[in-house]
Structures are given as structure tokens and as C-alpha cells.
Amino acid sequence: MNEISQDAAGPLAGLGSLVEVGGPVVAILLGMSVVALTVILAKLWQFARLRLGDRRSLDAALEHWEAGRAEAALEVLAGSRSPAARVLEQAMGGQMDPQMSEALVREEVARVAGGWLETLRGQFRTLEVIGSLAPLLGLLGTVLGMISAFQALEAAGSQVDPAILSGGIWVALSTTAVGLAVAIPVVAVLNALERWLERFRHRMQDAVTRVFTARSGAATPQPRSTPARLHPVSGEDAPGGGRQDERKRASGHGD
């Protein structure tokens, strides 16, 4: 039990000594690393819960839509948790509503898609700020440590000990190392999340475009007017044709 407690206390003791050496700057950097880790885990859980990589449901719904089975397409989308499914439901529902113009449907789809993208981008700014400020805070700690080291060197007077200067420089550079250790993984994960979201946005835009360009059973074409058929022998219209109507009107005028 004592060995387990010592092993568990080892990392905590190391962090405590690091904070003691680096001062408040290292404490702030460690706090920022905790915030960044929390945000990253929350975003990964959000992206996995909403199934941003779900392409099967979208492809199946689009196949039904292009084949004219609008109700089947909506049923497939209802079983998906992807935000793209909600956007496609809005697009298909608007296309099936004869009272809504295509321009109005497109505006509504753009509004819904923009809302989802803004939700998915949430907390990205926090990671950007941490990735930008962490190296600067580390550099600030280094400058402050160098100032303290030279002050101690000056206070020693003629009895200058090189260990004083080297020890102060080591303490000063440790804050820069901590700042870079916090910033590098945060920036890397942020770029990966942004790329993930960008691919999702492209797939969603492509699917919405296919909804508007594909023929579906939601919009049935209007019946075309059939031309008058001529009688095969006399060349006159078939019964009820336009030429017989003209003769009737002419005979009425003659009477």
C-alpha cells in the first residue's frame, strides 16, 4: 500500500515542485492545460455522439429521394443523429411543401445549417486562445526568471557564484518549456477538429445540393397539353377537336 501511495503521489509531487520552481506562471499554464484537456474531451464526445462521420444514412436517404420515395427518405433521416440529417429533413420537407418557393426553402436550409455549424464550432475559440497565449506566458516566465537571476547575481557582489546564474537561467527556461508543452498539443488537436468539421460541412453541402437537383416524388411534373389529333382521312380533328368547334362557331354566325 505504501508503494502504491508513493507511486500515486509521484506525479503530484512533480507538479508541485514544478509550480514551486516556475512560480505563478507555471501554475497558470497548468490551469490552462486542464481547461484545454476538458474542452478537447468534450468536443470529441460531442462529435462522436452526433455521429458527424455518418455517411450511410445520408446516402441511403438520398437514394430513396432520387428514386421518388420521399417518405422512405425521411424515415431514414429520422433514425440518424447527425446534424446533416436534420438539415436534409428541412430541405426535403420544404421541397414537398407546394406553398414554399425554392428560394425560401434554400434560405431556411442555410439558416438551420449555419446554426448547427456554429454549435459544432463552440469552444474552438478557447483552444485558439490557449494555443496562442501559452508560449507567450512561457516566454514571460523566462524573462521574469532572467531578471531574478541577474538581480541575485548583482546582490552577490564580488563573490560571484556561477551556480547562481546557471540556476536562475534553468528556472527561467523551464517556464518556456511548459508553455510550449501546453501549446503544441492544443494547436495540433484544434487543427484536427477543424479539419473534421470542414469535411462534415462539405458532405452536408453536397447532400443538400443533391436534394435540390434530384427529381423526387415530392414534385410531380404538371401534365402537358396534348395537341389536337387530325382525322387520318379527312384531315379534320377528331371528335371534340378544334376545327369542328370553329365550324360550329362559323355556322352560328351565318345563321
For 237, list phi and psi in degrees, rounded to 5.
-70, 155
CB atoms closer than 10 angstroms to residue 73: 25
Mean pLDDT (the chain, rounded): 79
pLDDT (tens digit, 9 = 90+) per residue, 61-92?
999 998 888 999 999 999 999 999 999 999 99
| pLDDT higher than threshold 70 for residue 185 | yes
CA atoms 52, 57, 62, 68: torsion sign: negative
- Per-residue confidence band for 163, with pLDDT thresholds at 50, 70 and 90: low
The residue with greater pLDDT, 155 or 143, is 143
Pick the more confident residue, 184 or 174: 184
Higher pLDDT, 19 or 133: 133
Task: Give the confidence band of 235 by pLDDT, cuts at 50, 70, 90.
Answer: very low
The yes-or-no verdict on residue 5 having pLDDT over 60 is no
Query: What H or E segment, with its residue span, contains residue 159?
Result: none
Percent of the chain surpassing pLDDT 90: 47
Alpha helices per DSSP H over 157-214? 162-213
Q: The C-alpha cell of 242 is what?
A: 378544334
Task: Give residue 8's identity as a one-letter amino acid code.
Answer: A
